[in-house]
Amino acid sequence: MRVLPFLLSVLSSTSAVAGPCLSAPAYPPTRADTAVETTFNTPIKDPYRWLEDASSPEVRDWVREQNRVCAKALSAAGGDLAGALGGPDGMGRCSLPESRGGELYFSRQKPGQEQAVLVTADRAGGAETVLLDPNAWPRERHAVLGEWYVSPDGAKLAYAVRWNNADLGELRVRDLASGREAAQDRVDWADWGDFAWSPDSQGFYYTRLPARGPAPGTALPGKADLAFHRLGQDAGLDAGVFPASGDPQVYESPQVSDDGRWLFLVRSRGFSGTELSVQELGPAGAHPVPLFHSASSTAQALEDQGRFFLLTDLDAPHGAVLAQAAAGASTAGWRPLVPERQDVFLDSARLVGHRLVLLSHRHAASQVEIWSLDGKLERRLDLPGQGSVEALSGRAGDGEGYLSYQSFTQPETLERFTPGQAALSTWRAAPAAPASVRQARVSQVWYPSKDGTPISMFVIQPRGQARDGQAPFVLQGYGGFATPVLPRYWPATAALLGAGFGVAWPNLRGGGEYGEAWHRAGMLEKKQNTFDDFLAAAHLLVDESYTASSKLAILGNSNGGLLVAAALTQAPQLFGAAVCASPLTDMLRYPLFGEGPAWLTEYGDPKVESQFRALAAYSPYHHVRAGTVYPPTLILCSENDDRVDPMHARKFAAALQAAQAGPGPILLHTRAHAGHGGTGLESGRADQMAEELGFIEAEIGCQWAPGGH
């Protein structure tokens, strides 16, 4: 990545163990109210509730001052790292291609570009033709290209525009021959990622949100329905296809089968339940019929030549594939096709060349298998090593498919495969990783958590690094929403390894590394298991002399930000620095903000006493204690984050600043024109990376220790 040469020089110029500490600055005045709310006979103090109102002039002024203080403090670390690193990376990236006829459609981001450009090329790898270049959009509008979808006939492009990189955006349709876009085909405020073209390319199905208005974002979940837009018709007249559920924990999405015959209507209840209906497209009077319904199991539906397939964890926590020959049968009508296996955990499935292509992981590394439609394992694809396959592309009638592969030491490459053979052929190669990464030592270790459960962890170390307790380390984690942490290439790893840092990624309960049972062991009333697993990982790194507490930094984003916030409030003495990005921290009021209502199945409902008590037992904001020595902490959030409301970061920062009894700074940076994923621009990603690593280097490098510098 283009940040590496400069960042390596910054880190190595002071060495990883001899940098300047950041002094605790004079923080902006922050009033603390006496608000107390009693729930289930439990008094809950909330002194910074006033910071929830982002529209308040007082809050806006406070955020502005916090940003000023943060910028000044970080500049003292040896210069404005973010500014020095500004600009896109030198590696570039490319998406997996989607095939339409003889053409391939994909996005490509070259060095020097802020956003990826949509292009097309023939299968033989001929010259690329640009279809849409968002880099030409006026920068002052802060528009970011979101998801995109080419019509079945290859004549039209539907794409999403995200203002300030917010999740919700605007759908547009472009005629690829003329480049024209009709105003009536513009759908304002459509849900991201939920879209399917009709087989005749004359319209599309999408998740329609209520009309834009003053209602808070939390009023939207449960009120979206599935609609159909016919090209050329005013979007305001679009017909409803499937009604809104009325349940804020339910997402609705459409999917059209590869042969264009069937419309799947999907209702997902959080990450723990699925309702599937199917409707035949074409016949007049056709209506949805049930296909699968479970309040406690997930399912993905596929169809090929009239046969239906389900990838599900119903009665199979590791995942299995079921099949049936007709739509509308009850769940009991499905028969096993690919059985559950003890050490294989299914992630997703596609149909390519009229075969099932199953993406799974084993020992927290990916594998791809080809199965016949009558349930016979034909082969496993020859992946380059122990890494992760992030995605598959291909269609039932295609003779070939594509996959992305990466590992801790291998940047993402795009590979072509044919179902009839195990060998891969490289479609788009990535530049070689820096020598510090290629020569790194990657190991997988196991350790017991607090309750004795064995937990696996990947440890990446510079070549020849001694186990003497002197090496600086960065510990990261996620542990939620059944999301597995697999070997992925993290661009900052090269900078960290080159400066003598080690990196560790534990496979925490709550994630999906070891099946649905592993997920359920770290959710709802069992969420504390996730934090215990993470703290046990930190103890292992210290006890086994990988590092020392004063040299151990923790970093996490989103649900990983909650993880970091919980860890530093439960064991502040264990860490030398913390970076907490886009975190949830007020777990007693989270359902009132952003997409919070949709996460009740994951975290729990504060209105249910047993779940309230579990949430109150760890809610980071409520466990900040005055007079405690907290490690230097950088808290990051985005002003336009409509997923995790930045109020969590504001309240947590205010509480930590007031409680801090040590010399380490507590800094808050609110990024402008940014959503949950940052600005969506390459320079924004580089700036955040520089900010995070610059802070870690300044604090870990100075040998900060609990109780003083």
The region that residue 542 occupies, defined by phi over 0 for left and psi between -120 and 50 for alpha, beta otherwise, is alpha
Residue count of the chain, please give it: 709
Residue 172 β-bridge partners: 159
Helix (H) or strand (E) holding 603: helix 600-603
Report the alpha-carbon angle 265-334-275, nearest 5. 25
Alpha-carbon gap, residue 145 to 194, rounded angstroms: 15
For the question of residue 709 being annotated catalytic, the response is: no
What's the token pair of residue 95? 């998406």
Instruction: Count Cβ neighbours within 10 Å for each residue of 512-528 and write b for 16 or more, e otherwise.
Output: bbbbbebbbbbbbeebb
What's the token pair of residue 423? 């060998």
Instruction: Count Cβ neighbours within 10 Å for each residue of 11-43 and write b for 16 or more, e otherwise.
Output: beebebeebebbebbebbebeeeeeeeeeeeee
Alpha-carbon gap, residue 585 to 476, rounded angstroms: 17
Residue 362 β-bridge partners: 365
List the end-to-end C-alpha distance of the chain, in Å, as a whole number.
33
Residue that the structure tokens 């990535």 belong to: 430
CA distances (Å), origin 375, targets 356, 357, 370, 372: 9, 12, 10, 5
Let me know: does 155 contact 200? Beta carbons within 8 Å: no
Let me know: does 83 contact 91? Beta carbons within 8 Å: no
What's the token pair of residue 520? 């359920």
Instruction: Count Cβ neighbours within 10 Å for each residue of 436-465 and write b for 16 or more, e otherwise.
Output: bbeebebeebebebeeeeebbbbbbbbeeb
Alpha-carbon gap, residue 687 to 681, rounded angstroms: 10
Tell me, what DSSP letter sits at residue 151? -
Backbone angles phi, psi at 680, to 5 degrees: 80, 0
Alpha-carbon gap, residue 153 to 474, rounded angstroms: 48
Residue that the structure tokens 């993470």 belong to: 534
Alpha-carbon gap, residue 129 to 154, rounded angstroms: 13
Number of other CB atoms surrounding residue 201 within 10 Å: 17
- CA-based torsion, 361, 366, 367, 373: positive or negative: positive
For the question of residue 558 being annotated catalytic, the response is: yes
Instruction: Return the beta strands (E) in 257-387 as ranges.
Output: 262-269, 273-280, 289-294, 299-304, 307-312, 320-324, 335-338, 345-352, 355-362, 365-371, 377-380
Let me know: does 436 contact 12? Beta carbons within 8 Å: no
**Which of 142, 229, 673, 676 is flagged as catalytic?**
676
**Which of 99, 404, 558, 582 is flagged as catalytic?**
558
Residue that the structure tokens 């329905």 belong to: 225
Task: Enumerate the active-site residues.
Answer: 558, 676
